[in-house]
Amino acid sequence: MALGIGSAGARIVSLLSKETTLVDRFAYISCDESDLEAKEGEKLLIQCPIDQKMTPPMVRGLSIAYIDEIKSLIDGARIVFIVAGLGRATGSGLAPVVAQLAKENGTDTVSVAVMPFAFEEKLRFYSGLALRRLRSVSRGVVVVDNDTLFKSTSDATLKEVYDIANSTAVKALGSLLARQAEDSIPVGLNKVLGTVFQDGYSFLTCASSGSVDKAEEALARAIIGISKRAETKDANHAVVVLTGDTTLKASETATAVKRLGSMFGSEVIDVEYAVNYRGGSQLQVSVLASGFKATRYDEYDPLSSLRSIDDAMDCTLPSGLEALSSFD
């Protein structure tokens, strides 16, 4: 099951529903009705009785009244992929709650955390905090950094930036979560999960190249995306998906995969790969790599080094709402 939370999560899962062939159920949770519009699948709206700007702790507070509904939404799923953009109220507040409820239910969760663009400095604190929380309650966490999905140019609108970022992210996720088809050799769910269910964080990055050594060049670009956010030598598992046209040679794939260990600076890395011939002459490469104990986002939350804080206490209701009888 894929579950989109908040605005970014809902948009990405809705696009993913048209791309993946491996996910059976799609669902959406948000505090904003417009995130749920025109989405096919199960939907849950978390309502706030007072119109006001929310924070992640407020959303967590509001979610208490919806715990049974969240539980029944995820009930029966073998694996839940939770997708959320972190840093604002809904995704940061709700994604860790949903992951925790799935864990209590005995369901394995893979949380896909979309991290803020560099220009969204104000979102750093909550995104760092939410990522740490997600790590503590999910079986696997895949970090997708918005800056690796789109190089910001001054003339693009925010909608264009999101659209490009989403199409890149969804192509990468869809190529990992694909069934066997005529024009592809997929990696298979078990190998993806084997990579993601490692200690620490996984990263998903993408790059493309049209040069003579396109496989190697695109791979190097994707790995540079990870190197700015974590120690590449910590990587112990990776899945590489190459998407090109029908001229993509086996020898190119083989060379790229062989070079991967030295590109990461880790000779012990366990590499799986998949090939997809539905692309164009530009070779697209997606790299999912795992085993990263620390990330640059640890610095986003200055309290992350303290071990004595009880995160479960961080849950508030908008003032005035405590007295409403519908809240536990």
Contact set with ligand GTP (CB under 6 A): 6-8, 11, 31-32, 54, 85, 87-91, 114, 116-117, 120, 123, 146, 149, 162, 165-166, 169
CA 235 from chain center: how many Å? 18
Q: Identify the bridge partners of residue 237 per DSSP, sorted by sequence position.
A: 270, 290
Alpha-carbon dihedral angle through residues 256, 273, 114, 264, given to the nearest 10 degrees: -40
In terms of CB distance, is 30 or 107 closer to ligand GTP? 30
In terms of CB distance, is 7 or 17 closer to Mg ion? 7
Q: Which residues contact 242 (CB under 8 A, 6 or more apart)?
A: 215, 248, 252, 253, 256, 273, 274, 275, 276, 283, 284, 285
Residue 171 interacts with which of ligand GTP, Mg ion, none, CB < 5 to 8 Å by class = none
Give the contact letters, 29-68, x = binds to Mg ion (CB under 5 A), - = no: ---x------------------------------------
Residue 146 interacts with which of ligand GTP, Mg ion, none, CB < 5 to 8 Å by class = ligand GTP
Residue 116 interacts with which of ligand GTP, Mg ion, none, CB < 5 to 8 Å by class = ligand GTP
Q: What would the DSSP string read from start to end of 30-65?
A: ESSHHHHTT--SEEEE---SS-----HHHHHHHHGG
How many residues touch Mg ion under the rule CB under 5 A: the total is 2
Rounded to the nearest whole angstrom, what is the least distance from the CB of residue 30 to ligand GTP in the complex? 6
Q: Which residues contact 181 (CB under 8 A, 6 or more apart)?
A: 21
Residue 11 interacts with which of Mg ion, ligand GTP, none, CB < 5 to 8 Å by class = ligand GTP
User: CA of 272: how far to CAs of 42, 179, 186, 230, in Å?
Assistant: 33, 16, 10, 21
Q: Candidates 1, 3, 5, 7: give the one binding Mg ion (CB under 5 A).
A: 7
Residues that bind Mg ion (CB under 5 A): 7, 32
